[in-house]
Amino acid sequence: MRVLALLPGGISDQILFFPTLDDIQAQYPNGEIDVIVEPRAKGAYRVCQSVNEVLTFDYKDRNGLADFGNLLGILRDREYDAAVALGGSSSIGFLLWMSGIPLRVGYASGLGQLFLSNPVPLKAEQYTAQMYHDLLQGFGISSPCPNLSIRIPQSDIDWAHTQRQQLGATDGSYILIHGGSSPRSQAKGIDKIYPAQKWQKIVENITQKQPNISIVAIQGPDDAEIVAAMKEACPDIKVILPPDLGKLAAIIASANLILCVDSAPLQLAVAVGTYTVGLFGPTNPAKCLPQNDRCIGIQSPTSRVSDISPDEVLKQVWTIDN
């Protein structure tokens, strides 16, 4: 059984789709699963345990006939038995139909459903991982959605151990902060940055109550500006720059708490079981977080994440601590 998953979206979307991929692999233990993702999301599969090969296609680009023709050639050459697609794009649906893949699964929404063999009802107002997992109904799979799960390479675990020693932050003695930055979100006018001045109040309160704990800011490729502002406001915080998603996951896994905006680090924290306080703007936290006592979502009263009160964040921090 050769299965193809077409998955537009960023790293968070991929991680939330991992339970679906895991259950497909469990259903077809001798099969192979390939995915086609946007270039920006390819790094997520460093920590995925169920995928054979990762191909890239920029779904959001202005793709011409030649681009779709090249993709169609790849699909035909590989002779997939089944395909599952996120979204309701008519162009992707038509592409799958033209490919000759016999089992074509996707949501019963948008024009793309006209080209599917097994459309599945879209129930958008639920936890996103569960919404994605509903697609397995098209495969005749009715198992409950498993928890998010990732596999961290041993080399990344070793890297994180070395970094903790250099930071002076041993296991269970540091809190991670991800201040948030996403050029794509900013371009769309979506607020995903929590101001440095508000982080300052949070950091000072935690340090006052827990002077032996280290506060470590995560800096990713697009986070330099907010991390610099946080460092200026809180000179004692430490900064870590994980070079890939596996190392980021490893450093999150050994923290005793992460405070972050709606982002890839939040989904990694859920997957490794680290206590998480997530800060959300317009997005309903119930869409992004499972219902368990290790995850707390705080939604802004104004839909702007910057309007969340530091006191509300601290209230949740000390709720977890107790």
Amino acid 140: pLDDT: 95
Domain-located, residue 100: yes
Amino acid 172: pLDDT: 58
DSSP per-residue string spanning 93-128: HHHHHHHT-SEEEEES-SGGGGG-SEEE----SS-H
DSSP state, residue 211: T
Which residues, given as ranges, of the chain have pLDDT below 50?
A: none
Domain-located, residue 272: yes
Q: What is the pTM of this model?
A: 0.93
Mean pLDDT of the chain: 92
Contact between 285 and 307 under an 8 Å Cβ cutoff? The reply is no
Q: Same structural domain for residues 196 and 60?
A: no
Q: How many distinct structural domains can be found in the chain?
A: 2
Name which of 167, 237, 172 is nearest 199 in CA terms.
237
Neighbours of 170 (CB within 10 A): 12
Amino acid 88: pLDDT: 75
Amino acid 302: pLDDT: 93
Domain-located, residue 163: yes
Range of the domain at 205: 154-321
Name which of 172, 179, 174 is nearest 310 in CA terms.
179
Domain-located, residue 149: no
End position of a domain, from candidates 82, 104, 139: 139
Q: Same structural domain for residues 159 and 27?
A: no
At 273, list the tokens. Answer: 């079981």
End position of a domain, from candidates 100, 115, 139: 139
| Rg, C-alpha atoms of the chain | 21
**140 SS3 class:** coil
Q: Same structural domain for residues 13 and 78?
A: yes
Count of residues in the chain? 322
Amino acid 168: pLDDT: 83
Contact between 266 and 276 under an 8 Å Cβ cutoff? The reply is yes
At 290, list the tokens. Answer: 């499972």
Amino acid 321: pLDDT: 58
Name which of 260, 279, 246, 268 is nearest 218 in CA terms.
260
Domain-located, residue 178: yes
User: How far is the C-alpha of 317 from the C-alpha of 259, rounded, in Å?
Assistant: 9
Amino acid 183: pLDDT: 59
Q: Same structural domain for residues 164 and 132?
A: no
End position of a domain, from candidates 139, 166, 191: 139
Residue 172, domain CATH: 3.40.50.2000
Domain-located, residue 95: yes
Beta bridge partners of residue 75, listed in sequence order: none
Amino acid 111: pLDDT: 83
Amino acid 64: pLDDT: 82
Return the amino acid letter for 172. G
